[in-house]
Amino acid sequence: MLAVGEVPARADDGVVIDVNAQKKGTYPLALPTAPEGDAVSKEIAQVETFDMSVAGVFKVLDPASFLADLKTEGLGIEQQKWKDVGALGVIKFKATASDIEFRLYEVSKGTTAVLTKTYKRAGTTTRTITHRWCNEVVKYYTGEAGFFGSKIAFTAKGKKSSAIYAMDFDGNGAFAVSNNSSTNMLPAFSPSGGQIAYTSFMRNNPDLYVGPAGGGRPKKISAYQGMNTGAAWSPDGSKIALTLSKDGSPDIYVINASDGSVIKRLTNDKSIDTSPAWSPDGGSIAFVSDRNGGPQIFVVGAGGGSAKQVSFNGSYNTTPTWSPKAGKRIIAYTTRDGGHYDIVTLDLDNKAMTRITQNEGNNEEPAFSPNGRAIAFARAGQGVFIANADGTGKAVKVWSGSATGVDWGPAPKD
């Protein structure tokens, strides 16, 4: 990653910012509002600023520091004035009734844009277009896909019931996915993002349902006596791992995602085994068990075998989730190794643990963004937050209310 103040140079693979480098810093980016100052321009600037602020690799500069005359510049840049405020990159845009044009400049490369895109506005919201552009900027600089435009699902807790909600990752457009007055919990996006599995008590038993991610009538998938909870989809979407207690103690099973038939029982222990999470390569399943005392994180092969404990900090570790980053074996989970519940990540290969939250209330139920660069989680009594997955920066609230059971859907198809 680019060190603070370092002039960017293109790596051999064509990226400007090496996100895997040992030397870490952030890339100063200027996001001036178009001089028109109308509602569309203000919305574009607001969405750009939020996206780039949470991308994990940029430092968005304060517009109050800008020296350039934006009206005179138009879609171009006056190079020295942006150098003088410390900008390494500048984004300009212009919206008309028919389209929105964006330009990205690397200040060190002069007054020719290094990336230009024009999007037709017909049938597409300003927010959606801006998210698409911001994903292009992230890919230009890092070579990685961005997560802007993806969805987050969570359980919104009420006084007498709880509902499954979904929203844009930035908190925009939240809506109820479930449509009943019962208790609904633990949503999980399918790999395609088109469906959400969740547990509901609408028939007085914690049964597993799968419904359209946009809302609509769900299908009951698993209704065994007792628990049918904590769904985790296999990477190919054909199977679901979950906790069933139909044979006595709660254990981890794998079922067919279409009809709920049991494919395999993965654990068979007198302890409580819950919260399965499928690894992105499909080879492993993390879960929670109290077989060695308090709840800890274990990993077992997706085809079965002996389970291995992987968490050892504190006496209470729950709700594991895997980073989707290729070639990595990193999990995030909820820990209580002090006075509060916090989010940490653990690299299973080098055993490095990174703290994502600390001294900021009680935090639980982490979920990685589609590119693994951010983590969403619930903060008790406050809402849903997102934070950088490397532990830097401050978490940002995207939804206010009482929430739990957070899950982050796949990257947008476009």
Fold of 151-408: Neuraminidase (2.120.10)
Residue 227 and residue 247: Cα distance in Å, rounded?
Answer: 10
Domain residue limits, the chain: 27-142, 151-408
The whole-number pLDDT of residue 2 equals 47
Three-state SS at 227? coil
Three-state SS at 264? strand
Please give the helix or strand (H or E) that residue 132 lies within, else none. Answer: helix 126-142
- What angle (nearest 5°) sits at the alpha carbon of residue 366, between those of residues 329 and 295? 80
Determine how many CB atoms are found less than 10 A away from the CB of residue 234: 19
The whole-number pLDDT of residue 21 equals 58
The whole-number pLDDT of residue 20 equals 63
Is the pTM above the cut of 0.85? yes
Contacts of 399 (CB under 8 A, 6+ apart): 152, 154, 167, 171, 174, 383, 384
- 27-142: CATH, from 2.30.110.10, 2.40.110.10, 3.40.50.10070, 3.30.505.50: 3.40.50.10070
The whole-number pLDDT of residue 15 equals 60
Each residue's pLDDT, cut to its tens digit, for the chain (414 residues) gives 444 344 454 555 556 766 665 556 789 999 999 888 889 999 999 999 999 999 989 999 999 999 999 999 999 999 999 999 999 999 999 999 999 999 999 999 999 999 999 999 998 999 999 999 999 999 999 999 999 999 999 999 988 889 999 999 999 999 999 999 999 999 999 999 999 999 999 999 999 999 999 999 999 999 999 999 999 999 999 999 999 999 999 999 999 999 999 999 999 989 999 999 999 999 999 999 999 989 999 999 999 999 999 999 988 999 999 999 988 999 999 999 878 999 999 999 999 999 999 989 999 999 999 999 999 999 999 999 999 999 998 999 999 999 999 999 999 886
The whole-number pLDDT of residue 339 equals 83
Residue 323 and residue 361: Cα distance in Å, rounded?
Answer: 24
The whole-number pLDDT of residue 37 equals 80
The whole-number pLDDT of residue 379 equals 97
The whole-number pLDDT of residue 5 equals 41
